[in-house]
Amino acid sequence: MQSKAENTPHHQPIQELLANGAALLRDAGVENPRREARLLLQHALGLTPEAMLALSVRDCVAAEPFLAWVARRAQHEPFAYITGSKGFWSLDLSVSSASLVPRGDTETLIAALLEHCPDHNADLSFLDLGTGTGCILLAALAEYPKAWGVGVDVNPAAATLAYGNARRCNMSARALIMAGQWVEALSAQSRFDVVFSNPPYIPTTDLDGLMEEVRRHEPVRALDGGQDGLDAYRHLCACLPRLLKHNGVGIFEFGIGQEPALRDIAAQNGLEVVQVMPDLAGIARCIVLRQGQPYARN
């Protein structure tokens, strides 16, 4: 980047670019358009936040990459897909349209893991079904340096993305990434201390009501949970007993209002609810299950 370039069609003052970009985003209905424009410019220039702050608003910078990204964001393409990265827990991960964008709600699963297994030196084994970017598995491995894990995704492009993130985070020696039909991709003898999943849980009839950037750009297969949104949980809970080691647990994300039905599905499969943990908004978001007596709901 040449911050002292002259004002030309290819190089324009930061102040002008930000004003034009924010206006385009505002007209498209993007929330916080000024903030998003500034972040897009920072990423387009390849700058850290500190380096961005050091620039003068009168400095002329390359305009075309930024304006191309603004045009994509104005179409409500997720910010993370445009920049190609997203922070999750303690990690910075590569992101693509092959998988869902990692969300803060999903960090609740890692919080539940830390509460259930406070010993960070434990030699644990993890399984992440529907691994996507690998965010859950890799965040868990980051907290337990002696642990290892397997991530499985039905989409080969997502599995490739997760493998790339394992390498990016220097965890490829401890993370085996597989493309295949979840449980069917594993050997019959596979057992784990913790089985994670953030499965599809949106009822099919609710898909059209999702935010535009989710509905239009994120993979439907990773969202559509069937007629009642619970298809994946029926499969997960039926398989969980044979996937867990003794005293092992399943840690699953679920949607708003799904807790009672998920408790029933767990009970029908001989699973005990250890804990239900809320996300940062106070909404029940994560369930911890283990083998036990059927759960009796009052």
| pLDDT tens digits for range 147-167 | 999 999 999 999 999 999 999
Closest CA to 245 of 111, 143, 126, 151: 126
CA angle 227, 230, 234 (to 5 degrees): 125
Two structure tokens written together for 177 = 């990434």
Q: 276-295 burial by CB neighbour count: b if 16+ within 10 A, else e? A: ebebeeeebbbbbbbbeeeb
Two structure tokens written together for 70 = 């603004």
Q: How far apart are CA 161 and CA 173, in angstroms?
A: 16
Kindly tell me the burial class for residue 4, based on how many C-beta atoms sit within 10 Å of its own C-beta (0-12, 13-18, 19 or more): exposed
Strand locations in 3-142 (E): 11-13, 60-62, 85-88, 91-94, 125-129
Share of the chain above pLDDT 70, in %: 95
Per-residue pLDDT averaged across 39-49, rounded? 92
pLDDT of residue 93: 98
Per-residue pLDDT averaged across 36-51, rounded? 93
Strand-strand pairing, 91-94 and 125-129: unpaired
Share of the chain above pLDDT 90, in %: 84
Closest CA to 7 of 84, 60, 78: 60
Tell me if 148 sits within 8 A of 126, measured CB to CB: yes
Tell me if 164 sits within 8 A of 131, measured CB to CB: no
69 annotated as ligand-binding: no
Per-residue pLDDT averaged across 98-107, rounded? 96
199 annotated as ligand-binding: yes
Q: How far apart are CA 56 and CA 53, in angstroms?
A: 8
Confidence of residue 9 (pLDDT cuts 50, 70, 90): low
Tell me if 108 sits within 8 A of 278, measured CB to CB: yes
Q: How many Cβ atoms from other residues are within 10 Å of residue 64's Cβ?
A: 12
250 annotated as ligand-binding: no
Which are the contacts of 73, defined by CB distance < 8 A and separation ≥ 6? 25, 28, 30, 36, 40, 79, 82
182 annotated as ligand-binding: yes
Q: Kindly report, residue by residue over 200-258, the tens digit of the pLDDT.
A: 999 999 999 999 999 999 999 999 999 999 999 999 999 999 999 999 999 999 999 99
121 annotated as ligand-binding: no
8 annotated as ligand-binding: no
The backbone torsions φ and ψ at residue 138, rounded to the nearest 5 degrees and listed phi first, read -70, -35
Tell me if 92 sits within 8 A of 48, measured CB to CB: no
pLDDT of residue 160: 98
Two structure tokens written together for 99 = 């998988």
Query: What's this model's pTM, rounded to 2 decimal places?
Result: 0.90
198 annotated as ligand-binding: yes
**Is the pLDDT score of 84 beyond 70?**
yes
131 annotated as ligand-binding: yes
Least confident of 46-55, 78-87, 105-114, 192-201: 46-55
Closest CA to 251 of 147, 155, 114: 114
200 annotated as ligand-binding: yes
Q: How far apart are CA 42 and CA 35, in angstroms?
A: 11
Tell me if 274 sits within 8 A of 245, measured CB to CB: no
Average pLDDT of the chain is 93
pLDDT of residue 37: 96
pLDDT of residue 7: 57
Per-residue pLDDT averaged across 190-195, rounded? 96
**Is the pLDDT score of 124 beyond 60?**
yes
